[in-house]
C-alpha cells in the first residue's frame, strides 16, 4: 500500500505545499499567461503532477500512472459520454433545420427585445447548458440574438452574463458529479448545497440582463417579468437539486423560468418602437417572418421534451433501482492507496454506472429524437461521429485535467495544499468561491475547476472546522461567475457574432459584473458558514 504523506519535502508543510502546487501553477500560467491551448496545458500539468507524485511524494511509478489512467477513464465516462450525446442531439436539430424553427418560435413569443433576451439568453441558454454546456449556450444564444436584430456586442455580452446561474448543474450535472467524485462526498449532499447558493444568483441575473439590454429604462419597465422569471427559475433549481435529481436541476429551472415569463401579460406585449430602435441596431434575420406548420414546431421542441420525459422516468424509484442494479464496481488495477491515517481511499474502487448514467439516458433520447425528426440511422451515426471529431480537443482537455486531478488527490498533493490553506481559518469561507472563480476564469470549465480544487477545498474545510460540503459547493458556485470572463468563452462569443479579435472589448464589459456577483457569492458563503445564514444549509 502507498500511504500519503502530508510533509514529504524536508518535513515542512509550507515547502511541501509549494512543491505540490507546482502542477496547478504551471497549468494556470500556461493558460492565462502563455495562452497555450487548453489540451496542451492540461497534458503539461499532468506530466508535472506525475513527476511531483513520483519524485517528491514517493508514489510508486506504477500507481502514479494507474491513478492518471483512472482520472482519464472518469473523464471519458461519465463526463464526456454526457457531453457528446447531448451535443449530438443538438446537431441533429440543426441538420433537419428544426433548430431554425425553434429560433423563430422564440422570436414570436414577444416583440420586446428585453423579454427576448430573457427567453433566449437566460431560459433557453439554461436549457442548452443543461444539455451540453462547454460553451454551446454562449455560441448558440449569441447567434440567435443577432438574428433577432441585436447589436453583435450587446448580444455577446448578454449571452455571457446569462451563462452563470445554470453552469454548476450544466451538461446533466457534470460539474457537481465531478465534484462529488474527486471529494468523496455524496452527490446528493453536494448538489443540495449548490442548490442553495446558485438559485440566489438566478434572482439577480434576469434583472442584470434587462439592464444590459436597455439600461435604467429597461429595468424600470420590465423588472416585473424579469423578477418573476428569476424567482421561478430559482425555486425550480432549488427543488430539483435538493429533492429530485441534480441532472434535472437546470432543465426544470429553464422550463419553469420560461413558463413563468410567458405567463406574465407584460412580457407578451410588444415593445414601444423607440425601445426597439435604441436596442436593436443589428440586422434582423428575414427568415423570422416565415410561418412554420404547427406540427413542425412541435417536432422542434420534441428533443428537449424527450430528454425531460426520459430523465423523469429514470427518477421513478422502481426504475431508478433497476438502473442502479446495472452499475458495475471494479478494483482498479495497480492501485492501492491509503490516506495519511492509513485508511483505504475510495478511488481504489472504480464505479461504472453503465445504464443509469446521464449520458446513456441522453443517448436514448437522441435515438428517439432521430426517429421523431426522421433522421436516417446512417446520418444519425455520421452526426455522432462528427460530434466526437468536433470535441476532440475538448476530450483531450477534460481527460488530461481529470488525470491531473486524480494524481494530485491520490498522491497526497491536494491534501498537503488543503492543510496549508486551512491556516486562513474563518477567512477561508470568503476565499473559497474566489478559488473556484479563478479556476473557471482560467480553464473555462466549472468541471475542470472542481476537479482541480474540489479535494483541496474539502481538506481545508475539515482542517479549519468548516463544513466540507459548504466549501466544495462554494468552489462550484463561485466558479460559475468566472465563466463569463474565461478566454475560452470570450473567444466563442466573438467567433459566433463575427467579432474576432475583440475579446478585450467584451472582457471590459462583463468583468465588473463578474466581480460584483462574485462578491455577492462570497458574502453568501460567509453567511452560510455562520449562524447568520447557516439555517439555509441542509
Q: What is the DSSP string of 46-81?
A: HHHHHHIIIIIS---HHHHHHHHHHHHHHIIIIIIH
**Residue whose C-alpha cell reads 457569492 in the numeric block:** 521
**Residue whose C-alpha cell reads 481504489 in the numeric block:** 348
DSSP state of 3: E
Average pLDDT over residues 234-263: 92
Residue 457 in this model has a pLDDT that exceeds 60: yes
Grid cell listed for 471: 466549501
Check residue 276 and give its pLDDT.
Answer: 61
Residue 297 in this model has a pLDDT that exceeds 70: yes
Check residue 521 and give its pLDDT.
Answer: 95
Residue 136 in this model has a pLDDT that exceeds 80: no
Q: Which residue has the higher pLDDT, 230 or 146?
A: 230
Q: Which residue has the higher pLDDT, 464 or 276?
A: 464
Residue 274 in this model has a pLDDT that exceeds 80: no
Residue 357 in this model has a pLDDT that exceeds 80: no
| Residue 148: closest CA among 300, 298, 276, 302 | 276
CA 470 to chain centre: 18
Check residue 268 and give its pLDDT.
Answer: 64
Q: How far apart are CA 67 and CA 54, in angstroms?
A: 12
Average pLDDT over residues 329-347: 84
Check residue 33 and give its pLDDT.
Answer: 74
Q: How confident is the model at residue 233 (pLDDT cuts 50, 70, 90)?
A: very high
pTM comes to 0.78
Check residue 386 and give its pLDDT.
Answer: 93
Q: How far apart are CA 110 and CA 36, in angstroms?
A: 43
Q: How far apart are CA 402 and CA 191, in angstroms?
A: 20
Backbone angles phi, psi at 326, to 5 degrees: -85, 0
| 492 contacts 135 by C-beta, under 8 angstroms | yes
Q: How far apart are CA 461 and CA 464, in angstroms?
A: 5
Average pLDDT over residues 501-518: 87
Q: How far apart are CA 192 and CA 239, in angstroms?
A: 9
Helix (H/G/I), strand (E/B), else coil: 424: helix
Grid cell listed for 458: 474539502
Check residue 283 and give its pLDDT.
Answer: 60
Q: How confident is the model at residue 269 (pLDDT cuts 50, 70, 90)?
A: low
Residue 323 in this model has a pLDDT that exceeds 60: yes
Residue 69 in this model has a pLDDT that exceeds 60: yes
CA 401 to chain centre: 15
**Residue whose C-alpha cell reads 452499475 in the numeric block:** 327
Average pLDDT over residues 45-68: 95
Q: How far apart are CA 239 and CA 169, in angstroms?
A: 13
Check residue 496 and give its pLDDT.
Answer: 75
Helix (H/G/I), strand (E/B), else coil: 338: strand
Residue 123 in this model has a pLDDT that exceeds 90: yes
Check residue 142 and give its pLDDT.
Answer: 86
Check residue 271 and give its pLDDT.
Answer: 56
**Residue whose C-alpha cell reads 474527486 in the numeric block:** 182
Check residue 240 and give its pLDDT.
Answer: 94
Q: Which range has the worst mean pLDDT, 355-364, 445-454, 483-492?
A: 483-492
Share of the chain above pLDDT 70, in %: 93
Check residue 417 and give its pLDDT.
Answer: 81
Average pLDDT over residues 490-519: 83
Check residue 322 and give its pLDDT.
Answer: 86
The total of other beta-carbon atoms located within 10 Å of residue 346's CB is 11
Q: Which residue has the higher pLDDT, 504 or 204?
A: 204
CA 331 to chain centre: 30
Q: How confident is the model at residue 383 (pLDDT cuts 50, 70, 90)?
A: very high
Average pLDDT over residues 511-537: 93
Q: How far apart are CA 305 and CA 123, in angstroms?
A: 15
Q: Is the dihedral of CA 528, 529, 535, 538 positive or negative?
A: positive
Q: Which run of H or of E encompasses 247?
A: none
| 67 contacts 406 by C-beta, under 8 angstroms | yes
| 236 contacts 253 by C-beta, under 8 angstroms | yes
Residue 480 in this model has a pLDDT that exceeds 80: yes
CA 86 to chain centre: 14
DSSP state of 344: B
DSSP state of 342: S
| 480 contacts 441 by C-beta, under 8 angstroms | no
CA distances for 111 relative to 117, 261, 394, angstroms: 11, 14, 37
Grid cell listed for 450: 472542481
Mean residue pLDDT of the chain comes to 86
H-type alpha helices, 377-445: 377-390, 392-411, 413-421, 428-443
Check residue 522 and give its pLDDT.
Answer: 95
Check residue 279 and give its pLDDT.
Answer: 61
**Residue whose C-alpha cell reads 426517429 in the numeric block:** 371
Average pLDDT over residues 39-48: 90
| 147 contacts 184 by C-beta, under 8 angstroms | no
Check residue 108 and give its pLDDT.
Answer: 78
Check residue 277 and give its pLDDT.
Answer: 53
Check residue 513 and give its pLDDT.
Answer: 94
**SS3 breakdown of the chain: % helix, strand, coil, rounded to 5?**
80, 0, 20
Average pLDDT over residues 284-291: 72
Q: Is 302 left (phi over 0), alpha (psi -120 to 50) or beta?
A: alpha
Q: Which run of H or of E encompasses 330?
A: strand 328-331
| Residue 66: closest CA among 331, 421, 438, 372 | 331
| 129 contacts 170 by C-beta, under 8 angstroms | yes
Average pLDDT over residues 233-241: 96
Strand pairing class (328-331; 349-352): antiparallel
Check residue 107 and give its pLDDT.
Answer: 74
The total of other beta-carbon atoms located within 10 Å of residue 520's CB is 13
Q: Which residue has the higher pLDDT, 272 or 293?
A: 293
Check residue 504 and give its pLDDT.
Answer: 77
| Cis peptide preceding 494, ω within 30 of 0 | no
Helix pair angle (503-528, 428-443), 10° resolution: 150
87-101, 305-319, 436-450: which is most confident = 87-101
Which pairs from 385-388 meet CB under 8 Å and 24+ separation?
386/91, 387/84, 387/87, 387/88, 387/91, 388/84
Amino acid at each position: 500500500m502507498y500511504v500519503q504523506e502530508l510533509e514529504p519535502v524536508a518535513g515542512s508543510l509550507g515547502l511541501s505545499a509549494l512543491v505540490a502546487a507546482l502542477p496547478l501553477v504551471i497549468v494556470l500560467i500556461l493558460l492565462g499567461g502563455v495562452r497555450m491551448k487548453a489540451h496542451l496545458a492540461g497534458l503539461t500539468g499532468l506530466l508535472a503532477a506525475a513527476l511531483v507524485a513520483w519524485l517528491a511524494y514517493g508514489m510508486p511509478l506504477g500507481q502514479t500512472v494507474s491513478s492518471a489512467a483512472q482520472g482519464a477513464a472518469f473523464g471519458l465516462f461519465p463526463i464526456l459520454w454526457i457531453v457528446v450525446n447531448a451535443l449530438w442531439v443538438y446537431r441533429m436539430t440543426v441538420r433537419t433545420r428544426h433548430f431554425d424553427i425553434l429560433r423563430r418560435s422564440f422570436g414570436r413569443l414577444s416583440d420586446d427585445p428585453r423579454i427576448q433576451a430573457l427567453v433566449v439568453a437566460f431560459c433557453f441558454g439554461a436549457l442548452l447548458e443543461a444539455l451540453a454546456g462547454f460553451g454551446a449556450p454562449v455560441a448558440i444564444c449569441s447567434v440567435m440574438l443577432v438574428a433577432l436584430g441585436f447589436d453583435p456586442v450587446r448580444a455577446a455580452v448578454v449571452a455571457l452574463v446569462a451563462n452563470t446561474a445554470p453552469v454548476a448543474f450544466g451538461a446533466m450535472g457534470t460539474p457537481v458529479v465531478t465534484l462529488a467524485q474527486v471529494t468523496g462526498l455524496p452527490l446528493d449532499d453536494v448538489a443540495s448545497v449548490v442548490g442553495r447558493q446558485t438559485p440566489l444568483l438566478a434572482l439577480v441575473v434576469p434583472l442584470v440582463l434587462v439592464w444590459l439590454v436597455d439600461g435604467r429604462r429597461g429595468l424600470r419597465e420590465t423588472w416585473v417579468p424579469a423578477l418573476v422569471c428569476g424567482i421561478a427559475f430559482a425555486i425550480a433549481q432549488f427543488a430539483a437539486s435538493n429533492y429530485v435529481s441534480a441532472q434535472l436541476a437546470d432543465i426544470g429551472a429553464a422550463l419553469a423560468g420560461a413558463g413563468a415569463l410567458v405567463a406574465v401579460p407584460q412580457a407578451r406585449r410588444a415593445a414601444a418602437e423607440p425601445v426597439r430602435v435604441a436596442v436593436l441596431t443589428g440586422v434582423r434575420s428575414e427568415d423570422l417572418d416565415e410561418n412554420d406548420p404547427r406540427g413542425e414546431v412541435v417536432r422542434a421542441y420534441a428533443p428537449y421534451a424527450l430528454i425531460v420525459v426520459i430523465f423523469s422516468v429514470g427518477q421513478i424509484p422502481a426504475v431508478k433501482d433497476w438502473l442502479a442494479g446495472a452499475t458495475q464496481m471494479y478494483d482498479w488495477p495497480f492501485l492501492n492507496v491509503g490516506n495519511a491515517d492509513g485508511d483505504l481511499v475510495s478511488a481504489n474502487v472504480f464505479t461504472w454506472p453503465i445504464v443509469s448514467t446521464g449520458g446513456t439516458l441522453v443517448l436514448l433520447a437522441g435515438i428517439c429524437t432521430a426517429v421523431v425528426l426522421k433522421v436516417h440511422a446512417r446520418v444519425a451515426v455520421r452526426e455522432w461521429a462528427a460530434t466526437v471529431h468536433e470535441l476532440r480537443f475538448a476530450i483531450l482537455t477534460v481527460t488530461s485535467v481529470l488525470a491531473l486531478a486524480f494524481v494530485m488527490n491520490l498522491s497526497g498533493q491536494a491534501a498537503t495544499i488543503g492543510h496549508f490553506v486551512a491556516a486562513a481559518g474563518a477567512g477561508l469561507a470568503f476565499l473559497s468561491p474566489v478559488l473556484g472563480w479563478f479556476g473557471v476564469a482560467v480553464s473555462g470549465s466549472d468541471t475542470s475547476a472542481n476537479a482541480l480544487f474540489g479535494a483541496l477545498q474539502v481538506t481545508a474545510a475539515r482542517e479549519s472546522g468548516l463544513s466540507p460540503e459548504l466549501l466544495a459547493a462554494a468552489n462550484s458556485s463561485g466558479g460559475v461567475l468566472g465563466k463569463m470572463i474565461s478566454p475560452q468563452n470570450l473567444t466563442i462569443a466573438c467567433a459566433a457574432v463575427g467579432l474576432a479579435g475583440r475579446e478585450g472589448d467584451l472582457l471590459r464589459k462583463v468583468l465588473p459584473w463578474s466581480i460584483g456577483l462574485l462578491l455577492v457569492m462570497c458574502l453568501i458563503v460567509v453567511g452560510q458558514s455562520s449562524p447568520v445564514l447557516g439555517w439555509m444549509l441542509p
